[in-house]
Every structure is written in structure tokens, then in C-alpha cells.
């Protein structure tokens, strides 16, 4: 897994990258009450706003960490946004993006670097 400074995690599955938020981010947000997901087949550029998360504390945007095509979204979050809090690193994922260059992931933090970053 790789991690961004915006507290997103990135997990490689073949030529896809699964994107979610870290446990740290989920704790900071508090109880998530709404998630607006992107449409599949949407092309995104790095830094594009892709999702909106609303919690009891704040609203936050999830940005595209990489350029590519959104190929799947976690529709379970529409009915149960609390999955983001219950299992942020697993069932609480947001979307999968197909990227042309998996080498771009090399610029993100690994788990040890991310732990140092949040301390």
C-alpha cells in the first residue's frame, strides 16, 4: 500500500488502484453520514475532486491521487456511509481507478513513512 499527504491509501490490484482514506483520517472526520461517489468511466487528472465525504464534524473532498479512469465505485457507501469509519482500510474504500503508469505510485509514502508523517 501507498499513502498520500491527504491521508488517502492506495492499494494496487493488477492495473487498478483502489483508493480509500486511512484510519487516521476517518478518526479525524468523526462519524461519516454521507458519501458522494464519482460516476464510473469518468476520466480524472491528479488532484481532481472525485468524492465528497460529509461527517458530523465537516465535509471533505477526496482528490484523485493519479491520472486515470474511474472503473468502479463502492456503492455500499451510499446505503451505509458508516463503513468508512468501521473499516476505512477495507470495506470502506471509495473507488478504483485504472492508471496507465503504476510507476507513479513510487512518489507516495509507504506505511512506515506515513506513520512518521502523522506523528
- Count the residues in the chain: 119
Residue-wise pLDDT for 85-96, tens only, equals: 999 999 999 999
Over range 104-110, report the average pLDDT: 94
Q: Which one, of 91, 95, 88, lies nearest residue 65 by Cα? A: 95
pLDDT value, residue 101: 86
Q: Number of C-alpha atoms within 13 angstroms, CB side, residue 48?
A: 14
pLDDT value, residue 48: 95
Confidence of residue 114 (pLDDT cuts 50, 70, 90): very high
Residue-wise pLDDT for 49-66, tens only, equals: 999 999 998 899 999 999
Q: Which residues of 46-79 are buried (b: 16+ CB within 10 A; e: fewer)?
A: eeeebbebebeeeebebbbbbbbebeebbeebee
Domains of the chain listed by start with CATH number: 2-98 (2.40.50.100)
Give the pTM: 0.93
pLDDT value, residue 100: 84
pLDDT value, residue 50: 96
Q: 34 is written with which cell numbers? A: 454521507
Mean pLDDT of the chain: 95
Count the Cβ atoms, other than its own, within 10 Å of residue 36.
Answer: 16
Amino acid at each position: 500500500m501507498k499513502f498520500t499527504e491527504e491521508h488517502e491509501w492506495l492499494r494496487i490490484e493488477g492495473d487498478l488502484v483502489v483508493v480509500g482514506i486511512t484510519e487516521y483520517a476517518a478518526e479525524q472526520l468523526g462519524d461519516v453520514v454521507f458519501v458522494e461517489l464519482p460516476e464510473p468511466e469518468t476520466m480524472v487528472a491528479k488532484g481532481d475532486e472525485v468524492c465528497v465525504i460529509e461527517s458530523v464534524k465537516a465535509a471533505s473532498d477526496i482528490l484523485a491521487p493519479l491520472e486515470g479512469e474511474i472503473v468502479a465505485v463502492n456503492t455500499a457507501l451510499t446505503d451505509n456511509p458508516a463503513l468508512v469509519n468501521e473499516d476505512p482500510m477495507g470495506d470502506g474504500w471509495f473507488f478504483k481507478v485504472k492508471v496507465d503508469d503504476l510507476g507513479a505510485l513510487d512518489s507516495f509514502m509507504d506505511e512506515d513513512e506515513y506513520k512518521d508523517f502523522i506523528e
